[in-house]
Amino acid sequence: MLTLVKLLQSLVKALHSEGTPGQLAAGLALGSILGLTPLLSLHNAVVFALIVMLNVSFAGAMLGWALFVPVGFLLDPLFDHIGHQLLMHTPALTPLWTAMYNMPVVPLTNFNNTVTLGSLVTSLVLFLPFFYLFRWAVTRYRATIGERVRQSKWYRTVTASKLYNIYRLFRPEA
């Protein structure tokens, strides 16, 4: 229940943040990488650093992560298949994988795991489509029902919580 409340809080805050639709969409798209791929992978440390360092919506990224974790679980068989095809059944890529496997640091990313590679490739391929889709969706939301939600009592309750203060530290800068 608490998770659901927090998810709702993130959603509301993200949609009504001062950030532009593009910043929110970039955060969501980066968060989708965290959600779609196995979390404890080295590439996710890079993605997390990008979320923190780039001027994108942090709340959007957390929201994207939370939204795409169950999707990742559901699509694992597909990721496994994609990774298997890329690693085992694409001879043209074998020299690349061999070079990467014998390179320092790169093997720590678990790129040679079928689920990790399949999910990472899928999330990277979907990154731009997600970005444009989310940007269009946020723009439409703000232009239609966003203002009415902002005036509602429960929105003010949510934004008044202590978590909101922490969030403000990472809110996108105009």
Nearest residue to 45 (alpha-carbon basis) of 30, 66, 26, 28: 30
Rounded Cα–Cα distance for residues 123 and 100 (Å) = 20
Question: C-beta of 97: minimal distance to another protein in Å?
Answer: 5
Question: C-beta of 145: minimal distance to another protein in Å?
Answer: 26
- The residues that touch another protein, with contacts defined as CB under 8 A, are 20, 38, 40, 49, 52-55, 72-73, 76-77, 79-80, 83-84, 87-88, 94, 97-105, 107-108, 110, 112-116, 118, 169-170, 172-174
- CA 29-148-160 angle, to 5 degrees, is 75
Rounded Cα–Cα distance for residues 163 and 11 (Å) = 13
Question: C-beta of 156: minimal distance to another protein in Å?
Answer: 27
Our CB check for another protein shows the closer of 76 and 149 to be 76
Q: At what angle do helices 21-36 and 42-53 cross, to 10 degrees?
A: 170
- The token duo for 143 is 């232009």
Our CB check for another protein shows the closer of 110 and 159 to be 110
Question: C-beta of 113: minimal distance to another protein in Å?
Answer: 5
